Amino acid sequence: MALGALILGVPHFQASGTSSLAPKTSDTQAQQQQAQQQQRQQADALDLTSSSGPAVGYVTPWEREQGLIDRKSKVCMGWTARAACTFAVSIFLESVGLLDKALAYSPFVHNYREQRMDRRFVARPLDCSGPGVTSFKIVRNPFARAASTFAHQMFSHFSDGLTDHPRINSAMTNILGETDVRKVSFLQWLRAVKKDNFTDVDIHSKPQTTAAEHDGRVVFDSVCKLEHELQACLDAVNSRTGANFSVTRAAETSAPHSNEHQAMSGDDVATLPYGSFPKGDKGQTLFPEPADYYRGPKGAEAAALVVELYQVDFDQYKYSTADTTGIGVMSLRESLQRVAKVGREGQQPARVAAR
């Protein structure tokens, strides 16, 4: 997946050759509109600013992974890696009648999205903010997403082989002073991301908030939280657009691609090395439940780092920075199970629901 450059703060763009002086009297309104259109297109193409400065306030470039659009229904969906991305893409594919085709191509629907899906479904910021377009984004609690990202970075050895950004593995191991990920804890990983300042990490570790959202080029009509009445949020989108976004099948087909978890006791989970986590019946690593990482003094330090690194997401999507063990801080597998249950119950006859 192609990676963009880093972003800090709100980007400012000016079309090449454009003067800051007042326009000449010979300038027509059409010429002015054309210049404004060129500025917006340049912003979409670059979507970057300086990479210097602290991580606080960092926002992510809008890459091709950030949006999908159904041009027939005029509805755009934003999504982010490690924020139930397989589930979100499955929702979109089912709504446009492509989920069966995608699953037949590969059980991992991202393979179809990247290798076979019609590129006309890929959305730019201009697409999501176009006239008559209804837009929404599926987001995840930053505390839960940080735990999910840590799991991903451990079993993938810092995205080794999963991205065209070869510096990630070497940069993170250099910061940690450790090449064996089995010795790395959640707290150590967070400290390393802070020290790296989002310079070398990929979209799995970057914030959910994109530059286009942060600078106001894209304002999603609905922000659908994975943990909170997701189907109701999608139903509202459906009623406005005539689309058919549904959670049940997408949740059931994407759940096998999520990590397995096992609750862990104690106040030191944030400092436990990845290699110490228990194994399941098939030899797979059982990660702690996300809330387990945030208990105790070291858990409080981990929570503070998550807030510092992903403050922009807490602000953008209205998540509490104080609630580290609430209903939203759960594993993706548990979230999808709840989503699927709600979806199935919503499809039951009224007399069954009333009992």
Instruction: Say if 2 falls within a structural domain.
Output: no
- Average pLDDT score over residue span 153-160: 90
Among 35-49, 60-74, 88-102, 151-165, where is mean pLDDT lowest? 35-49
Instruction: Say if 39 falls within a structural domain.
Output: no
d(CA 334, CA 355): 25
The predicted pLDDT at position 334 comes to 83
Instruction: Say if 269 falls within a structural domain.
Output: yes
The predicted pLDDT at position 276 comes to 97
- Could you write out the DSSP letters of every residue in 329-347? S--HHHHHHHHHHHHHHHT
Output the pTM of the full model. 0.80
**Full domain range(s) for residue 286:** 144-200+259-314
Burial class (CB in 10 A: 0-12, 13-18, 19+), 260: middle
d(CA 340, CA 140): 16
Instruction: Say if 295 falls within a structural domain.
Output: yes
- Average pLDDT score over residue span 106-114: 94
The structure tokens 């908030």 sit at: 209
| Tens of pLDDT, residues 254-309 | 877 677 889 999 999 999 999 999 999 988 999 999 999 999 999 999 999 999 99
Residue 50 CA neighbour count, 13 Å, CB half: 4
Instruction: Say if 176 falls within a structural domain.
Output: yes
Instruction: Say if 282 falls within a structural domain.
Output: yes
Segment holding 87, helix H or strand E: helix 85-95
Instruction: Say if 123 falls within a structural domain.
Output: no
Segment holding 44, helix H or strand E: helix 29-46
- Average pLDDT score over residue span 170-199: 96
Instruction: Say if 179 falls within a structural domain.
Output: yes
Counted domains in the chain: 1
Read off the pLDDT band of 339 (50, 70, 90). confident
